[in-house]
Structure 1
Amino acid sequence: MAHRRKRRAARPGARSLQGGHVAPLGRSPRHSLPPPAASYASSWFHVGAKKEVICMDNYNPTDLEKESLLLVVTSTFGNGDSPSNGKIFQNALLSTKQLRNKFRYAVFGLGSSMYPEFCAFARSIYQKLMQLGASPVTAMGQGDELNGQEEAFQAWAVATFKASCESFDIRGKHGILLPKAYTCNETWNPKDSRIVYDSQPLDLGKALHDIHGKNVVLMKLTSRQNLQTSKSSRATILIKLSCEASQEAKYLPGDHIGVFPANPKALVDGIISRIVDAPMTNEIIKLETCSDCI
């Protein structure tokens, strides 16, 4: 923490600590960091601050005594454990008995709410730093890969940045313009959209892949069976799926499966009724939009 003049508040040195593999951000074996995290510390905390973005396995735990602002973005792996590159940091932090340096910090956890230990490692960091006397600038953020992970990160990023500016009394903080991607709330406006007809035959798997960025395999449901007895209050469903011989479904234990079911006819008809010059039934179209949120 550096001081210029007595009447001027101390300026923070921001460090962003990333838990995962592959610089500059990385990922755990299951949960990758949301795309905006890559530029978060470097593009936002340039305001009167020296900043560093460090992968967790490159961080020296003794540097906690030198921090003024520490940002931690990390996933949870297994039964509430750290990602593989966070083991040394985890062991060092949890074994620390006291800190002389009472710095400020913020933590964002990544995970899946399918697992009982959702964001457990991030929560353990948040609670341990508080126990050691460090002060959180915002409540811990959590990003659920099953429910709006990127939006949750953006909300946490905005709150953390604003709270940090207030905490360190950054000059001109009320005049700082935040990136549009974090602050723009898009609303539907027909003038910003248009329908483009596609003459190509529909490749449903490719279309879903292009929209969602996921590997999509078309399958058919062959059987559905409840493995619990009729007297049980629980349900464990065994589902068997089949696919074309040319389409092999590749997966690892712990992977999730996402299902794209057919949309209800009433919903489809309701949307089409709001479209000017609506297409014919089963005609392939593309909806192109113009957005300021870039």
Structure 2
Amino acid sequence: MGLNFVQCNLNHCRVAQDLVAQFMVEGRVDVALISDPYKVDSASSAWHASAGQRKAAIYVANTGVTVANVISDPEFVSARLNGVQVYSCYASPNRPIEDFQDLLRRLEDSIRTVQQEVPVLVTGDLNARSAAWGDWVDNRRGEELELLIESLGLVIANAGSTPTFSRGARSIVDVTLACDTLAARITDWRVLESVFNNSDHHYIRFSLTPGRDQVRATPATTIAPRAWNTAGGVANDTFLAGLILAEWLEQGDLQDWQDTERGASALRSRLTAACDFAFPTRRTTNPRKPPVHWWNADIEALRVECTMAKRRMTRMTS
């Protein structure tokens, strides 16, 4: 399956984090790649964060996305999403250049440990500026990041020269990088300059088309979320019968189990079939329901007004 991403620095702001969750619902976004999140729900399997102070995070809103090989560093986090090793990073602008160089060394070491056939996507606010990704200023961090890009053979996905950071003279410090085999699958990369998000960084949105193996393996239909009513308890015998039936329906094909991603998909398929057999279905919540409890029509109208004011300000300063 293809993936829809949003990338942004949230400035450690609670409202900005709530707004990105709302944006994902409205825009049908699968994954958020976050720098400087406000809070990470460590109890939720949807959240994956960097170590320590949790400066970077990956939030997977779509339960149909397979997640594996999670890597946590103090300044980046990585997870394999539908077979793509995705990195979300954050480098504070207040740290010395030696710390930034150390981050890039750790990032390079991590990327080089990824299996050669696995595509890599690297995103984040690294506070590095360079004309290579559309900025009009070059700095030392930009030079160091360019060396990393060249060393790893990465491709810069940033397009155009729309600023990603709106404070002051504005700049482009949020980057999206991909290995050469993945770059061709990135589509519709754009900076959403007019969307109000309560952050001084704009949203970056882009999509990732399915790989060839995913096109063959994934049906073209959208699978609705499933849920079952287990209030009456779990009948072990009935559930076991469901698993046996699911295995029989698959005709005992073990080929998928030799691959991690396909094995996970096959296991999920069997468990779904067994639950369908053993339990009554439960109506799921509306996927369009706002994820933040305070969202309402009045706030929606205020956001529209903020967006219009932001556009007027941009015209006046440009």
Higher helix share: 2
Structure number with greater CO (CA < 8 Å, separation at least 6) is 2
TM-score by length of 2: 0.31
Which protein has the larger Cα radius of gyration, Structure 1 or Structure 2? 1
- TM-score for the superposition, normalised by structure 1: 0.33
